[in-house]
Amino acid sequence: GNSVTQMEGPVTLSEEAFLTINCTYTATGYPSLFWYVQYPGEGLQLLLKATKADDKGSNKGFEATYRKETTSFHLEKGSVQVSDSAVYFCALPNQAGTALIFGKGTTLSVSS
Amino acid sequence: GAVVSQHPSWVICKSGTSVKIECRSLDFQATTMFWYRQFPKQSLMLMATSNEGSKATYEQGVEKDKFLINHASLTLSTLTVTSAHPEDSSFYICSARGLAGEGLPGELFFGEGSRLTVL
């Protein structure tokens, strides 16, 4: 079935540093891909998505490109802020398309 | 975006008691709701999928008699942990998918989560 693997954390960066969080997937076909974010004390919220190969999702300065050649959907941001400190989850639908499968989450900690 | 609310956000109970967690979609009708369980530093594990007016579909390994799910209306689903034990202590998260047209395929709206501690 479908699965997703994302890099282990935690990731610790200084403000304005460049961020990359790796995510690779295994799937039948080309499902939509998602990044969710969980800020401290809050529920998960959708950060960005891409619905087909070569699409680039973007939001709040974050970007991720759906690359079918490398089966990857890496999350990037050019200049992180302290407020970006959170847990980031890569996700894709299960094979039946009935629910989302999540990666283990990567904790990002940004210091000023 | 759409709002999903869970209650309570924190609950502590004694071993052997039952605990009910509510999940409500506040500004949309949710035909399908999902219950996830999140262990510390681990991913969200899907427990069950519930469709309004029908029985929940449980994932393999999840005890349906232990985790009772009811989705009685288009805005409310409940998870009841029966005869709770310390190993049931976890973070339970619900999510909802709206009717057709509310959110893209696969896009879910999440509650804030409910932390259960069983003493």
pLDDT digits over B36-45, tens only? Answer: 998 876 788 9
Q: Residue A12: phi, psi to the nearest 5?
A: -120, 120
Is residue A86 pLDDT above 90, yes or no?
A: yes
- Length reported for chain A: 112
Which residue from B minimizes the CA distance to A104? Answer: B43
DSSP E strands in chain B: the ranges are 4-7, 10-13, 19-25, 30-38, 44-51, 57-58, 67-73, 76-81, 90-98, 109-110, 114-118
Q: Do A36 and B111 touch (CB under 8 A)?
A: no
Q: Is the peptide bond before B105 cis (omega within 30 degrees of 0)?
A: no
Q: Do A51 and B104 touch (CB under 8 A)?
A: yes
Report the pLDDT value the prediction gives residue A100, as an integer from 0 to 100: 85
Report the pLDDT value the prediction gives residue A64, as an integer from 0 to 100: 98
How far A17 CA lies from chain B's nearest CA (Å)?
24
Is-contact A44 B2, C-beta < 8 A? no
Average pLDDT, chain B: 87
Q: What are B117's strand-pairing partners? A: B12
Report the pLDDT value the prediction gives residue B102, as an integer from 0 to 100: 46
Give the model confidence (pLDDT) of B17-73 as tens digits.
Answer: 999 999 998 888 888 899 999 887 678 899 999 888 888 999 999 999 999 999 888
Least confident among A41-45, A75-79, B24-28, B46-50: A41-45
Is residue B100 pLDDT above 60, yes or no?
A: no
Q: Do B46 and A49 touch (CB under 8 A)?
A: no
Average pLDDT, chain A: 92
How far B42 CA lies from chain A's nearest CA (Å)?
5
- Length reported for chain B: 119
How far apart CA A76 and CA B105 sit, in angstroms, is 24
